[in-house]
Amino acid sequence: MFQDFGHLTERRRAEREQRKKKIIIVSCSVALLLVVVLGVVASLHIFTKDPSNVSATSGGLRTTSRTIELICSSTDFKHACESSLSRVLNSSAGNSTSTDLQPRDLIKAAIAAVADEVSEAFSQAKLIKTDDPMVEGAVEDCKGLYHYAKDELLQTLRDVGKSPAEQLPKKEHDLKNWLSAVMSYQQTCIDGFPEGEFKTKMENAMKTAKQLTSNALAIVAQAASLFSMLDVRGLRVRRRLMSDADGLPAWVPEGDRRLLKEKVTKNLKPNVVVAKDGSGDFRTISAALAAISEKYHGRYVIYVKAGIYDESPTVTKEMVNVTMYGDGSRRTVVTGSKNFVDGTRTFQTATFIAIGEGFMAIAMGFRNTAGAIKHQAVAIRVQSDRAIFLNCRMEGYQDTLYAQTHRQFYRGCVVAGTVDFIFGDAAAVFQNCVLVVRRPLDNQQNIVTAQGRIDRRESTGFVIQNCRFVADKKLALAGAAPIRSYLGRPWKEYSRTIIMESTIGDFIQPDGYMPWDGDFALKTLYYGEYGNKGPGAGLSKRVAWPGFKVIGKAEAQAYTVALFIQGGDWIRAAGVPVHLGMYN
């Protein structure tokens, strides 16, 4: 064995020590990130009491208070972060003969330590006893929302378990995506309750869970930056998803590749056909969805022939990679009339619900015909991650399109409505779409968007690019009271909407935006405009809120399809026309 001597040896030794420190810091960041993230899921009892599951090997993570302080330094709720991690890590260390723990051992121990506490937050809804049907319905919604959060986090845990440590940074966008969704589920549970005692109880019950989720989002960003600092062989990671030789991202199933490489609107071979006249395999969309085999793998294609389908189909979480195409957005239409005034919670008023990952709709129409007088009445609720809508039409009045969670892309679509008619907490990009503002009740005002980001670290927001804001011909009725129309208002504290390279009609008020309630969110929201045109695009009289910005091209780039929703991988793979960057 040869040994180096002199100044070179000392420098190399110092470099090695520095690299070791970086590796330890990054390993701690990733492990503790996942510990806190997984804390928002209740009852995931996958940790065993067998002490052998907590290993004590050289090269593990030394759980010191200094490490915890480092990890929590970037969070907004430092006390909650430090106390929860101290409790988790001390408990894990107590089951081991050493304080040196491997990342996956820490993850398992952390889940067991925090599950009961977080489970209590969700279980508070079950304890509510009342004869009020709206409250009872909110309790049921919370149960369903809890399962969405639990299932998504379990899937993420499985993915992390199968991934080498050096590949974890590639999951940065996915981690932020589902963490943001979990936060949205928590808030949606709260929002389902009418104002009063029960809503206050749920807000208090969810407080710690929301803080832990926010902290986890902060740790995601910290872990990513630490990884990017590394210059160690084996830990250099490309941030974009890996692609195979055919140009499709690695996550696309093998059986799906041929279909995705074909033109979307041509050569689609349906698995089943839906036709009201009986000429297909099913007469309703719901029946076609129910017939999907649990053992089916690949993309499932449903062709819906022209007709008005008065039903409320749901693409459930188990129905992944479903493509549904029709004969045109005005010819193949799903319709319904559920609404808030008649006693249905907004969350459940949707005519069509898309939950399963990878849902795609082409040349379809979705309507809620309840009318302006019925207030909240959703035409379509989209919860699906990597959802695509091509040449579709969404028609309603208040709350037409509920872009609830995850990453969504709308291309060549028409969305028509009145009050907050595009709302939710998704990361959604609308490209080459027409946003039609209709006439509301005479005592109402029109608002196109009401984005619902509740934490500044969420990766969500609405981006409207190269679209047209137009007025329905009935908006300005002769002799009727004039209606004020706005581009948006902040539904939640960190509402984020970017309008760029779009054409805005003169019916939009010069100030552009209206407040939700007093000065709520005016300092914390993020509204940006770039490169818009048309008579309603003038900026001289826009609101003077701290959160409103006229942004430059460099800042606008961050909200392009490629960067904001990572669409260069999954949208292009689907064969859908997409502009990944700026138009100008």
Q: Report, as residue numbers or ranges, the catalytic residues.
A: 420
| Angstrom distance (rounded) from CA 524 to CA 547 | 6
Integer angstrom CA distances of residue 412 from 384, 392, 484: 19, 7, 26
Of the candidates 520, 515, 539, 519, the one whose C-alpha atom is nearest the C-alpha of residue 529 is 539
- Which residue has 């608002």 as its token pair? 447
Query: What are the backbone angles phi and psi of residue 479, rounded to the nearest 5°?
Result: 80, -5
3-state secondary structure of 297: coil
| Angstrom distance (rounded) from CA 132 to CA 425 | 28
Q: 434-437 and 468-471: which strand pairing? A: parallel
How many residues comprise the chain?
584
Residues 6+ apart with CB under 8 A from 426: 382, 403, 404, 405, 406, 407, 408, 460, 462
Q: Give CA 139 to chain center in angstroms.
A: 22
Rounded to the nearest 10 degrees, what angle do helices 172-191 and 197-229 cross at?
A: 170
Of the candidates 440, 338, 366, 433, the one whose C-alpha atom is nearest the C-alpha of residue 397 is 440
| Angstrom distance (rounded) from CA 156 to CA 358 | 16
Residues 6+ apart with CB under 8 A from 16: none
3-state secondary structure of 380: strand
Structure tokens at 469: 């804001």
- Which residue has 């609405």 as its token pair? 462
Kindly tell me the sign of the dihedral angle through the C-alpha atoms of 500, 260, 153, 29: negative
3-state secondary structure of 338: coil
Name the E strands within 42-127.
61-62, 100-101
Of the candidates 318, 327, 329, the one whose C-alpha atom is nearest the C-alpha of residue 354 is 318
Residues 6+ apart with CB under 8 A from 545: 513, 522, 523, 525, 527
Kindly tell me the sign of the dihedral angle through the C-alpha atoms of 547, 550, 553, 557: positive
